[in-house]
Structure 1
Amino acid sequence: MTLARRLTVLVTATVLLLLAGTWTVLRAADTTRQDRRASADDPPSEPGTVTLGPRPDGPRLVFRSMIWGPHRDELASVPLDHPGATRTVSAPDCLRFHAAAGTGSCLQAVHGVLQDTYRVAILDRDLHELRHYDLAGIPTRTRVSPSGHMVAWTVFVGGDSYAGTDFSTRTSILDTRTWTLQENLETYTATVDGKPHQAPDTNIWGVTFADDEHFHATLASGGKTWLVAGNAVEHTLTTLHGNVECPSLSPDGTRIAYKKRVPGLSEDEPWRLHVLDLKTMAETATAEQRSIDDQALWLDDHTLAYALASDDGSALWRVPADGTGSPALLAAAALAPAVVR
């Protein structure tokens, strides 16, 4: 055997050993993950049928289940008026999720030998995949328009947190009627404080739809953030109000729930949950005093739901939108909710 051939055999064997070792480590980690047992305090779950369509028994809350065990990351469904009830769980796994009018958006991890990749799966009312699209980075936000026709998602293409300024996002909008994909909202024509805006550090994230044409989102540039009104047909963005992140439009279309950076708070936990009246631009702080790094969900016109860290990774909480009351646990071991009516 020649020296060159010996070297080739040696390199090939080394690569195979490295791949085998990596697979073994990943397999062991996955086994450990699945072997963890749900705590006695976690709500019970049972496999079954999860649907994104209306049900005769009333509205449902559908979310990513965070209970450790074989059904972690699957979609869970509970009655909206009884969120502590036994969960019906079903594949697929989703990192982030939202749904409306029988259309679901499921941002997923695709586990590889050397690294994970990500994609978005568009689901029908029975959780069947209609199409999927590769994602350019780590999933962070997704929303479906009230009609179910439009889907938006945001990923981190640089960094993995909104807390600092060293991150980059990409936000896309998909029309499920034509499967037309607008890959990057940063190509839109932007107007900031009444002036045309073009800057290399522009980031856009957190779309929330009013209808199939109009939406709101966050635009960031120069260390500042704004609430923008967007038009998916005219491809325009216009700022409305400053210091708004991860907006969420109320069902009646009159208010925006959002994260607001409050001076004096920790750089790692800088936000408080607020509500903005779109007619008067008056801000109302909610009774939640903890830092919220989430795109809140309106359960109805009066109540907000949002995620906070927990022993399982995340739990859902709720609080009145008008500043009264106090926070209350909505669903333990849960993330990324949607109300299915």
Structure 2
Amino acid sequence: MTLSRRLLVLTAAVLLLGALAAGLVLRAASRADQPRQGGPTVAAGSLTLTQPDRLAFLNAAQGPHRGALASVPAGTPQAARTASDLTCRRFHAAAGTGVCLRSTPGALAQDNQALIVDSGLRTLRSFPLAGTPSRARVSPSGRFAAWTVFVSGESYGAAFFSTRTAILDTRDWRLDANLEEFTVLMDGREYRAADVNFWGVTFAKDDDTFYATLATAGQTHLVKGSISGRTVTTLAQNVECPSLSPDETRIAYKKRVRAGASLWREHVMDLGTLREHPLAEKRSVDDQAGWLDDSTLVYALPAEGAPDTTDLWTAPADGSGAPRLLTPAASSPTRLG
């Protein structure tokens, strides 16, 4: 075979392989926009944050409404979903105020945003995020919103990561952009270190007290904070992503159960005694759990066979019973009403 003929054959092969690759990409994209067979039914509709007895969450089912804030009746969590046109990476709401953390894949960090929305999901204000969205919470009154982003690293299990946590007052729009500027009190003394990180804020009803995770010197701590005092005080170790119960007597959190590994087990701690107990859920929960009521926790776990999707599960807060699937293909749950 002549050299020119060899080049012609090689060129034809390259063009053929390129066409096949393009076809596979287009086919995969087309499938991503189609609902998964047997998956939940999702349809566009009206959604507000003041609808009574509804469960809101981010829809993770394949199809045109993937990533949209959706809701179902709280009593039938696997019913057909009503999807809004608000899309988020993380979401939380209370008392008619919502915080939506947005992130565009492949975009620069400054393109990530926190949106504060009203009960009709209209954007009131937007704020640039310093990194990739991780956690979001709104105080019970709706006055304060908090969010955490990864400034570097993409996982709490990574060897090296940095976070930034902000708290916003939605009355006067005053933003504490970095909790690392708050005074840290540890063992009765002011503590300073270059490696301090905060994440996972949860608010009390008094519009001042909050709890969060503080990481420093290879340890994680539960801290109790004061917004007005701009202070945090350490309470206990090995506590991550706390969530305050509706009666404000307990904290649910993920506890690292193997040093150096990304393995956590969800626990509940009594704030009066600091005694803790594990939930019946024995799988590793890398989430900031929520409370459906004073006795039931809800959290996300990776969906079987779908690594980019999570399902919502529940477990009794007292450690009894067994985990139960609440709703598939969903994340960031919020009980409305």
TM-score of the pair, normalised by structure 2: 0.88
Alignment pair present for 1:321 and 2:323: no
Residue in structure 2 matching 1:232, options 223, 227, 236? 227
1:25-36 equivalence runs, <5 A: 32=29, 35-36=32-33
The 2-side partners of 1:40 and 1:325 are apart by: 31
The one-letter amino acid of 1:224's match is Q
Q: Secondary structure at the match of 1:32?
A: helix
1:274 maps to 267
Structure 2 CA distance for partners of 1:125 and 1:113, relative to 1, 3 Å = closer
Q: Deviations over 1:85-130 (max 9, x none)?
A: 1100011110000000000000002467788831001000000000
2:291 maps to 298
Q: Deviations over 1:178-229 (max 9, x none)?
A: 0000000000000123221100000000000003111000000000011000
Q: Verify the 8 A CA contact 2:208 2:227 in the aligned structure 1.
A: yes
Q: Secondary structure at the match of 2:112?
A: strand
The 1-side partners of 2:119 and 2:163 are apart by: 29
Q: How far did residue 37 of structure 1 move?
A: 2.4
Structure 2 CA distance for partners of 1:116 and 1:37, relative to 1, 3 Å = farther
The 2-side partners of 1:50 and 1:30 are apart by: 32
Question: What is the count of residue pairs matched by the alignment?
Answer: 310
The 2-side partners of 1:154 and 1:223 are apart by: 19
Q: Verify the 8 A CA contact 1:110 1:119 in the aligned structure 2.
A: no
Alignment pair present for 1:153 and 2:120: no
1:219 maps to 214
Q: Verify the 8 A CA contact 2:310 2:329 in the aligned structure 1.
A: yes
More displaced, 290-299 or 305-314? 305-314
2:249 maps to 254
Alignment pair present for 1:198 and 2:195: no
Residue in structure 2 matching 1:241, options 215, 236, 245? 236
Q: Verify the 8 A CA contact 2:310 2:330 in the aligned structure 1.
A: yes
Residue in structure 2 matching 1:66, options 45, 60, 64? 60
Q: Verify the 8 A CA contact 1:65 1:72 in the aligned structure 2.
A: yes
The 2-side partners of 1:234 and 1:316 are apart by: 36
Structure 2 CA distance for partners of 1:294 and 1:35, relative to 1, 3 Å = closer
Q: Verify the 8 A CA contact 1:258 1:274 in the aligned structure 2.
A: yes
Question: Which consecutive unaligned segments of at least 5 residues does structure 1 have?
Answer: 1-24
Question: Which consecutive unaligned segments of at least 5 residues does structure 2 have?
Answer: 1-21
1:333 maps to 329
Residue in structure 2 matching 1:118, options 112, 118, 121? 112
The 2-side partners of 1:280 and 1:146 are apart by: 24
The 2-side partners of 1:62 and 1:120 are apart by: 18
1:52-201 equivalence runs, <5 A: 52-53=49-50, 55=51, 58-110=52-104, 117-201=111-195
Instruction: State, as a whole percentage, how many aligned pairs show the same letter.
Output: 52
Q: Verify the 8 A CA contact 1:111 1:117 in the aligned structure 2.
A: no
Structure 2 CA distance for partners of 1:113 and 1:339, relative to 1, 3 Å = closer
Q: Verify the 8 A CA contact 1:318 1:328 in the aligned structure 2.
A: yes
The 2-side partners of 1:91 and 1:36 are apart by: 16
TM-score of the pair, normalised by structure 1: 0.87
Q: Verify the 8 A CA contact 1:174 1:181 in the aligned structure 2.
A: yes
Q: Deviations over 1:41-88 (max 9, x none)?
A: 3121111011101x3xx4111110001111000001011111011100
The 2-side partners of 1:30 and 1:334 are apart by: 24
